[in-house]
Amino acid sequence: MASLFDDLPATIRLIDAGAGAGALTAALVYRACQPDSGVKSIHVTAYELDSQILPALRRTLAECEALCRNRRIPFKASLHQADFIQEMAGRVSGDLFSATPPSFNVAIANPPYKKISTNSPERLALRSVGLETSNLYTGFVGLLGRLLETGGQMVAITPRSFCNGPYFRPFRVDFLNRMSLHRLHVFESRAAAFRDDGVLQENIIFHASNGPGQAPTVMVSSSRGEMGDSDSITTKLCPFSEIIHPSDPERFIRIPVNNGYPDAKKQLSGLPASLASLGLTVSTGRVVDFRLKDALRPAPERGTVPLLYPCHFNGGTVHWPKPDARKPNAILDNETTRHWLVPSGIYLLTKRFTSKEERRRLVACLFDPADVEAEWLGFENHLNYFHANGRGLDRALALGLFAYLNSTLVDQYFRCFSGHTQVNATDLRTLPYPDQKTLEEMGCSLQSPGIPREALDQLVEKHLHGIQ
């Protein structure tokens, strides 16, 4: 991370927010102490809340000072055992009791990550500086951006989740208006994954600088992220317009590290339809199981309807009930639950969370009422469902969508803007789609979902080329 900064300023004013034992500061000071760095003095400001780790942080700062003394570089450290968010938000917003905010020219961070609820003190503090964000880590990054002087640089390691998804949109807009992106590095290994509510996330390191004028290109790289694997980094220079599509109101940060992406993008950007123009919607399954606990049943019984989870996906179709499943198979159909159910019909379902082991980011599955007899259905919150105004789809259209979404082409396109494990309904809504006729023709030639992947890919390519 320390090596990702461009030339360091002669007079470094560094902020390390959530410094822990000071590993990142130490790495940066080590780089600054190299003979050709041009650095003449260093002032470190470190924030750390955890009193247990402070002795280790003090030791690291003392080592940094000793190293700088050796190199005759004046070194000063200010250690704050304080809440970075509360203290800096107060200073940035200029509240009555706070001093004016300091200004830094270098920021390095591995911030804490935790969801913050709408009325939490952190959220209120961040709101006071115009930052609306639901996670601590984006709060840290947003504040750091405000504390950097023009041209000041930041390198941070965070979960990748801020790059897409609706919740992080205000953060993305704020960040991209304020900062210029220079480098994005993604890790592909589980070993380096963050745990966020039990969901594995991909990590990202970014280098950005404060100030208007986004550079026309961004360096994008990836590595497996395992210990000792630092030499297998693949790097490429991408136009910024490929990272953030100029016409994308969501401001998704796409990271085209896979080789198939340029081709996939070219093919998909020529597609004429949107989900809305097809008269379809995709929604997240409406049954949140822990909120309807009393209504769940392990097996179908009188008065219940099928409740479908991703564990019922099997080779492209739904296999229900699953007697050995850890999840319930049924939900009571009554006055309380009916609101959360959908009328039976043909639906296309996708998993919201895929594991790293799964070859595909997008896993789509066809629900056919011919396989599961019921009048009403419960779709659980871990899946998304495509529907037409709350009702099922025409069979050929559903099969066409099935082929399209499960194709390698869409997978290649999709994986550059989605963190490894999560597929949001918004992601599916903003994807380009073939027109209705092409989808229906695709569906008619597919006939059944159970065909091998290669045959499905060929079928999709054939129909897409027919329209372009």
Ligand X SMILES: C[S@@+](CC[C@H](N)C(=O)[O-])C[C@H]1O[C@@H](n2cnc3c(N)ncnc32)[C@H](O)[C@@H]1O
CB of 19 to ligand X, least distance (A): 5
Q: Identify which of residues 22 and 306 has a Cβ nearer to ligand X in the complex.
A: 22
| CA triple 455-461-464, angle to 5 deg | 140
Q: Identify which of residues 57 and 331 has a Cβ nearer to ligand X in the complex.
A: 57
Q: Say if residues 261 and 413 touch (Cβ distance below 8 Å).
A: yes
Residue 424: CA count within 13 A, CB half-sphere: 17
Q: Of 18-26, 27-35, 212-220, 417-425, which segment contacts ligand X by CB under 6 A?
A: 18-26
The C-alpha atoms of residue 253 and residue 179 are separated, in whole angstroms, by: 13
CA distances from 75 to 61, 81, 255 (A): 10, 20, 38
Which member of 105, 110, 329, 337 binds ligand X (CB under 6 A)? Answer: 110
89 binds ligand X (CB under 6 A): no
19 binds ligand X (CB under 6 A): yes
175 binds ligand X (CB under 6 A): no
Helix residue ranges per DSSP H, 415-452:
425-430, 436-446
375 binds ligand X (CB under 6 A): no
CB of 46 to ligand X, least distance (A): 9
CB of 66 to ligand X, least distance (A): 20
112 binds ligand X (CB under 6 A): yes
- Pairing between β-strand 194-196 and β-strand 75-80 as defined by DSSP bridges: unpaired
Eight-class DSSP state of 307:
E
CB of 37 to ligand X, least distance (A): 22
Q: Say if residues 133 and 126 touch (Cβ distance below 8 Å).
A: yes
Q: Tell me the number of residues near ligand X by CB under 6 A.
A: 15
88 binds ligand X (CB under 6 A): no
CB of 207 to ligand X, least distance (A): 16
CB of 156 to ligand X, least distance (A): 10
Q: Of 83-91, 98-106, 281-289, 419-427, which segment contacts ligand X by CB under 6 A?
A: 83-91
Residue type, 102: P
- Pairing between β-strand 364-367 and β-strand 383-387 as defined by DSSP bridges: unpaired
Touching ligand X, residues 43-82 (CB under 6 A)? 47-50, 53
Q: Say if residues 411 and 361 touch (Cβ distance below 8 Å).
A: yes
Residues 6+ apart with CB under 8 A from 96: none
433 binds ligand X (CB under 6 A): no
Residues 6+ apart with CB under 8 A from 322: 311, 312, 329
Q: Say if residues 105 and 12 touch (Cβ distance below 8 Å).
A: yes
CB of 80 to ligand X, least distance (A): 8
Q: Identify which of residues 136 and 439 has a Cβ nearer to ligand X in the complex.
A: 136
Q: Say if residues 115 and 109 touch (Cβ distance below 8 Å).
A: no
The C-alpha atoms of residue 195 and residue 4 are separated, in whole angstroms, by: 25
Residue 388: CA count within 13 A, CB half-sphere: 12
CA distances from 60 to 19, 32, 83, 230 (A): 11, 15, 20, 24
The C-alpha atoms of residue 79 and residue 95 are separated, in whole angstroms, by: 22
Q: Identify which of residues 18 and 443 has a Cβ nearer to ligand X in the complex.
A: 18
Q: Identify which of residues 24 and 28 has a Cβ nearer to ligand X in the complex.
A: 24
154 binds ligand X (CB under 6 A): no
Q: Identify which of residues 22 and 345 has a Cβ nearer to ligand X in the complex.
A: 22
Residue type, 10: A
CB of 366 to ligand X, least distance (A): 42
Q: Which residue shows structure tokens 């082409």?
A: 409
Q: Identify which of residues 47 and 261 has a Cβ nearer to ligand X in the complex.
A: 47
1 binds ligand X (CB under 6 A): no
Touching ligand X, residues 265-324 (CB under 6 A)? none
Helix residue ranges per DSSP H, 244-366:
261-269
379 binds ligand X (CB under 6 A): no
Q: Identify which of residues 23 and 325 has a Cβ nearer to ligand X in the complex.
A: 23
- Count of CB atoms situated within 10 Å of the CB of 422: 21
Q: Identify which of residues 195 and 338 has a Cβ nearer to ligand X in the complex.
A: 195
206 binds ligand X (CB under 6 A): no
Which member of 4, 20, 63, 183 binds ligand X (CB under 6 A)? Answer: 20
CB of 33 to ligand X, least distance (A): 19
By residue count, the chain amounts to: 468
29 binds ligand X (CB under 6 A): no
229 binds ligand X (CB under 6 A): no
Which member of 24, 126, 341, 396 binds ligand X (CB under 6 A)? Answer: 24
What are the residues facing 344 on neighbouring strands?
none
Return residues touching ligand X (CB under 6 A): 18-20, 23-24, 47-50, 53, 83-85, 110, 112
